[in-house]
Amino acid sequence: MSRLLARAIVLVVGGAVLLAACSNGTPSSNGNKFSGVTVRVVTFTGPQIAEPLQRRAPDFERLTGAKIQIITVPFSDLYQKLLTDFATKTNSYDATVFDPQWMGDYVPSGYLEDLTDRVHNDSALQWNDIAPFFRDFSATFKGKVYTVPLDGDFQMVYYRTDLLQKDGLKPPETWQDYVSIAQHFQGKDLNGDGKADYGSCLAMKRSAQSYWAWISIASAYLQSQGTKQGAFFNLNDMQPLTNNPAAAAALNVYKTLSKIGPPDQLNNDVGDSRGLFVSGRCALSLDWGDIGPLAVDKTQSKVIDKVGAVILPGSKQVLDRSTMQLADCNATLCPYAVNGVNHSPFAAFGGWSGAINHASSSKVKDAAFAFLSYMSQPAQSSSDVTIGKTGFNPYRTSHFTNLGPWETSGMSEAAAKNYLGAIQSSLQSPNMVLDLRIPQTNYYQQTALDTALAQYLAGELSTNATMAQITSQWNKKTDEIGRQSQLDAYKASLSVTK
Amino acid sequence: MEEEDLSKVSGYVSTRGFRLAASTWRPLGARLDRVAGAVFILPAVVVILGFSIFPLLASLYVSVSRLSFNEGGVDLKFVGLDNYAKLIVGIDRVHLLGLAGPATPLSIAVLLAGYGLLAFALYRYVRSGDRTAVGMFGRVFVAVVAGGLLWLLVTTIMTSGRPGTLVVTMVYVGVDVTVQYLLALGLALLAVQHLPGRRFFRVVFLLPMMITPVGVAYLFRMLTDTDKGPLYPLWAHFGLTDVSWVTNPWGARLAVMIGDVWQWTPFIFIVLLAAIETLPHELVEAAVVDGANRLQVFWRITFPLILPATSTVVLIRLIEGFKIIDLPNVLTNGGPGTATESLTLHAYTIWRALDIGGSAAVAYILLILVTFIGVSYVNLFRRRVTAMT
């Protein structure tokens, strides 16, 4: 009898140990824990972002038995595809890798699973290794964690080190510098093929990434008092900051740049502008972190070790919120200025992040979380962020400190330090501009702002008409949803402690 | 006779019993015979009600509502004609209708000529012997709406203004269908000649139609790229590498129209080819014997005989043409600005911003426009052609 009891105790203890081992979320220790479970993950039609998910899904299946189905839809459809799927309770997706800005629409409606406990209990995820900005802002909504960051997003300026060095030019500090450097190189042969090349290559196509580029420029003029000041709305009455001399200055810079670049720049998205830059046809570009790894990709780059990155250029004049006029920077107006220049690095988009559908079954949710965790764990992500085609950019402390994977990818130590330094200086800036995250953010940016910018660049609207159109459309939408609730949501999105 | 046969088959049913049963069943059978037609039609009616009429009415309701996604579901709020007002007189008016510029001598001349023609057509009808009150009302209605559309076209295109999505769509349809028809007619006349390789070219001419429109859009996106596309050597030869098709509003619209013409000319081509090939040889032979030349044969025999096929194929292309979306969406995303945006793309961009009511309103405006043009075309042109032949 006592032997039987001893066996039973051994079995129970053994089982408990096994359960504990399984519950830490590490796929390698899960065996076939998720055998028979299928997780449907939706993201945008890549190749970026979808590529690493598709590439690593079979590995994850071998480790855990869970089958991962990656479903892709065009980026411009992803937001409403998800929203309509959740709202109509179709629930055809168990997880999504999406834009964390949309949490403003998805979280209050209860569509996304609260991941707070899971991220803290999963030791393999190494939650604290993720840079505080991505942990506390990108992944968090009103104090709770809803996403697992898979990508770190900041816009930066890239320049050709060889060209600037040869002509004795410094990387741009202000947007005026950027314009004059672009003008200097426009029409010159920059890659030795005998063809005239371009001073600057930007993504200005409609319904693509154009509005982020404009916000990157406008931020320098609109926000100078630190992150909590915000760059989109007045914090007293939710009036848009899109109809004032600062917005006009940014529009003028943008319009000037539309003419210093490839002839079909108005029809270029980031795929086109990146292709042009790494083939050596542009002196400058404005982009997320993607150009860094693409520039050392031997299969396509003609600018290996010829590319430098800097924090977004700034401005010596900023919007004085009391007079709503442009004023010269001083210690009060621009407390974070460097050499009299106000820099406002823009955390455009916030980085692709994984989230889980609250309505899925618990077993599927467990498998989905294990997959997202697996993708984010340093073992996988530290090499993924060094590959250009993944679209993933560094977001963990270890991505910045461990230079090994970067050097393996083909970057020289100096280039890696320069590239990571530009991201870090943006990440550590106390005047970082947070991307908009309020209900129907998608309308404000992707529809109203994007269309007005496209019309402005095409000459359909004057500067004043563009500002008036954006402002009236934003105000109409704010009133439609509720001015006070939108103001509350906007304030909540800014009160982040880094 | 029938009863006897049946009683033989059943064997154990007595004649009396069967008669009783038959007398009961006869009215039922007759009744079934009467309703059989309706019963057979019912599945089709249910399908049409379910898949055509219901969505039509539902989208009409959505177009007068504001749909929002709330906690745990969807909220539909009735807003009357707000969505239409926003498009026609409100914040989206310029997007839909365009911006009228100050009058120019050309625009005034075209307007006067157009209105003169409309007035002349009405005058001819009034003077004709077979006028009716209904016919008169219909013609006045058509003249008023056509006059309005003409005003919209002329004041936004022939001035310093800019066309909205409604006008851009009409330009696409007008230019595309005309060019497609002329090209297709030429190709069909060529393909019936006994030329070497005609079988091969008939297949080649049909290929564009087989490609998915999105594929065609990507193809033209590459072809119109003067800087790195496959036609780069050609552009470079003419010194056009710094000129972009798709950053100039009319260049971009032209690119969209060339793509559409390339894709849909084969459709008209195949219909016209079939029509020409089935023409009776005797008529042509008789005309040739009588000394008619080729041009006379075409204008007096071939063309009038293929008019019924022409009117049908043009109607189909008109209706299809109004729904263009793939080409402008992929080629330019509706840009530069809103220059290449068609009505369907307009509805889609509004839908993407989750303004489902506004999107349905645009779709209804498109439906009204297509119905107006389709019905006017059938009444004023097609019916006459069919009667003539």
- For A6-16, write each residue's pLDDT tens digit: 565 554 545 44
Cβ contact A461–B336 (<8 Å) = no
Cβ contact B333–A205 (<8 Å) = yes
Q: What is the DSSP letter of B380?
A: I
What are B106-146's pLDDT values in tens digits? 999 999 999 999 999 999 988 887 788 888 888 899 999 99
Query: For B164, which residue in chain A has the nearest alpha carbon?
Result: A460
Cβ contact B244–A264 (<8 Å) = yes
Three-state SS at A168: coil
pLDDT (0 to 100) of residue A24: 45
pLDDT (0 to 100) of residue B72: 65
pLDDT (0 to 100) of residue B7: 43
pLDDT (0 to 100) of residue A230: 94
pLDDT at B58 over 90: yes
pLDDT (0 to 100) of residue A361: 95
Q: Which of B227, B235, B241 to mutate to test the interface with A (most CBs of A within 10 A)?
A: B227
| B359, B343 contact by CB (below 8 A) | no
Q: What is the distance in angstroms between the Cα of A164 and the nearest Cα belonging to chain B?
A: 24
pLDDT (0 to 100) of residue B10: 45
Q: How many contiguous H segments (helices) and E segments (strands) does chain B have?
A: 19, 4
Q: Does residue B293 or residue A16 have the better pLDDT?
A: B293
Cβ contact B91–A476 (<8 Å) = yes
- Rounded to the nearest 10 degrees, what angle do helices A210-222 and A450-457 cross at? 90
Query: For A480, which residue in chain B has the nearest alpha carbon?
Result: B66
* Residue of A370, A402, A405 lying closest to A30 (CA atoms): A370
Cβ contact B246–A110 (<8 Å) = no
A259 lies within 8 A of chain B by CB:
no
Half-sphere exposure in the Cβ direction for B386 (13 Å, CA): 9
Cβ contact B69–A83 (<8 Å) = yes
pLDDT (0 to 100) of residue A108: 85
Alpha-carbon span B157 to A137, nearest angstrom: 49
Of B243, B337, B355, the CB nearest to A458: B337
Q: Which residues of B touch A448 (CB under 8 A)?
A: 353
Cis? peptide before A47, omega within 30° of 0: yes
Cβ contact B335–A442 (<8 Å) = no
Per-residue pLDDT of chain A (498 residues; tens, 9 = 90+): 455 555 655 545 454 444 444 444 444 445 688 999 999 999 998 788 999 999 999 999 999 999 999 999 988 889 989 988 998 888 999 999 999 999 988 998 889 999 999 999 999 999 999 998 899 888 998 889 999 999 998 899 999 999 999 999 999 999 999 999 999 999 999 999 888 999 999 999 998 899 999 999 999 999 999 999 999 999 999 999 999 999 999 999 999 999 999 998 998 999 899 999 999 999 999 999 999 999 998 888 999 999 999 999 999 999 999 999 999 999 999 999 999 999 999 999 989 999 999 999 999 999 999 999 999 999 999 999 999 889 999 999 999 999 999 999 888 899 999 999 999 999 989 999 999 999 889 889 988 999 999 999 999 899 999 999 999 999 989 998 899 999 999 998 886 444
Q: Which of A109, A267, A277 to mutate to test the interface with B (most CBs of B within 10 A)?
A: A267
Q: Which residues of A touch B235 (CB under 8 A)?
A: none
Mean pLDDT of B170-192: 95
Cβ contact A109–B72 (<8 Å) = yes
CB contacts < 8 Å between A and B, how many? Answer: 106
| A100, A138 contact by CB (below 8 A) | yes
Cβ contact B352–A206 (<8 Å) = no
DSSP assignments along B294-333, one per residue: HHHHIIIIIHHHHHHHHHHHHHHHHHHHTT--HHHHHHHT
Of A84, A108, A456, the CB nearest to B71: A108
Please list, in sequence order, all residues whose beta carbon lies within 8 angstroms of the beta carbon of residue B30, skipping any fewer than 6 positions away: none
pTM score of the predicted model:
0.84
Q: What is the distance in angstroms between the Cα of B91 and the nearest Cα belonging to chain A?
A: 8
- Sketch the domain layout of chain B as residue ranges: 2-63, 82-99+162-388, 101-160
Of A76, A109, A457, the CB nearest to B70: A109
A447 lies within 8 A of chain B by CB:
yes
Q: Strands A433-434 and A346-347: what pairing?
A: parallel
Cβ contact B74–A88 (<8 Å) = yes
pLDDT (0 to 100) of residue B9: 45
Q: What is the distance in angstroms between the Cα of A257 and the nearest Cα belonging to chain B?
A: 14
Q: What is the distance in angstroms between the Cα of B223 and the nearest Cα belonging to chain A?
A: 13
Cβ contact B337–A206 (<8 Å) = yes
What domains sit in chain A, N to C, each tagged with a CATH number?
Answer: 26-146+353-390 (3.40.190.10), 156-348+432-494 (3.40.190.10)
Query: For A90, which residue in chain B has the nearest alpha carbon?
Result: B73
Helix (H), strand (E) at residue B129: none
- Rounded to the nearest 10 degrees, what angle do helices A463-481 and A450-457 cross at? 170
Q: What is the distance in angstroms between the Cα of A299 and the nearest Cα belonging to chain B?
A: 18
Q: Which residues of A touch B336 (CB under 8 A)?
A: 206, 266-267, 454, 457-458
Q: Which residues of A touch B66 (CB under 8 A)?
A: 480
pLDDT (0 to 100) of residue A480: 86
Tokens of B55: 């969505």
Bridge partner residues of A200 (DSSP) = A284
Sheet of strand A156-160: strand arrangement: A198-201, A282-287, A156-160, A307-310
Of B71, B74, B242, the CB nearest to A110: B71
Residue B104 CA from chain centroid, whole number: 32
Distances in whole angstroms, Cα of residue A321 to Cα of each of A29, A229, A233, A244, A355: 56, 10, 11, 10, 37
Q: Does residue A393 or residue B2 have the better pLDDT?
A: A393
Q: What is the distance in angstroms between the Cα of A102 and the nearest Cα belonging to chain B?
A: 13
Q: Strands A95-98 and A140-141: what pairing?
A: unpaired
**pLDDT range class, residue B389, cuts 50, 70, 90:** low
Cβ contact B338–A473 (<8 Å) = no
Alpha-carbon span A108 to A101, nearest angstrom: 13
Of B247, B337, B339, the CB nearest to A264: B247
Q: Which of B333, B340, B356, B359 to mutate to test the interface with A (most CBs of A within 10 A)?
A: B333
Alpha-carbon span A405 to A399, nearest angstrom: 9
pLDDT (0 to 100) of residue B119: 94
What are B218-266's pLDDT values in tens digits? 999 889 888 778 888 888 888 888 788 888 899 999 999 999 999 999 9
Domain B82-99+162-388, what fold?
Answer: MetI-like fold (1.10.3720)
Alpha-carbon span B165 to A331, nearest angstrom: 50
Q: For chain A, what is the largest distance between any 2 Cα atoms, rounded to a whole number of angstroms?
A: 92
* Residue of B295, B75, B354 lying closest to A76 (CA atoms): B354
User: If interface means Cβ-Cβ distance under 8 Å, which residues of chain B face chain A?
Assistant: 66, 69-74, 91, 162, 225-227, 241-247, 249, 332-339, 349-355
| B378, B315 contact by CB (below 8 A) | yes
Half-sphere exposure in the Cβ direction for B210 (13 Å, CA): 6
Q: Which residues of A touch B339 (CB under 8 A)?
A: 458, 460
* Residue of A408, A231, A208 lying closest to A314 (CA atoms): A231
Please list, in sequence order, all residues whose beta carbon lies within 8 angstroms of the beta carbon of residue A478, skipping any fewer than 6 positions away: A238, A486
Predicted ipTM of the assembly: 0.79
What are A125-149's pLDDT values in tens digits? 999 999 988 998 889 988 899 999 9
Phi-psi category of B118—alpha, beta or left, where left has phi over 0 and alpha has psi -120 to 50?
Answer: alpha
Q: Which residues of B touch A442 (CB under 8 A)?
A: 353-354
Cβ contact A108–B247 (<8 Å) = no
Cis? peptide before B208, omega within 30° of 0: no
Please list, in sequence order, all residues whose beta carbon lies within 8 angstroms of the beta carbon of residue B365, skipping any fewer than 6 positions away: B84, B87, B96, B166, B343
Query: For A454, which residue in chain B has the nearest alpha carbon?
Result: B337
Of B69, B249, B355, the CB nearest to A458: B249
pLDDT (0 to 100) of residue B132: 86
CA dihedral A169, A249, A187, A211 (to 10 degrees): 110
Tokens of A329: 């920077």
Cβ contact B349–A476 (<8 Å) = no
pLDDT (0 to 100) of residue B3: 44
Q: Which residues of A touch B334 (CB under 8 A)?
A: 206-207, 454
Half-sphere exposure in the Cβ direction for B377 (13 Å, CA): 16
pLDDT at B14 over 60: no
Burial of B92 (C-beta count, 10 Å sphere; 0-12/13-18/19+): buried
Query: For A450, which residue in chain B has the nearest alpha carbon?
Result: B337
What are B297-328's pLDDT values in tens digits? 999 999 999 998 999 999 999 999 999 999 99
Of B72, B242, B333, the CB nearest to A208: B333
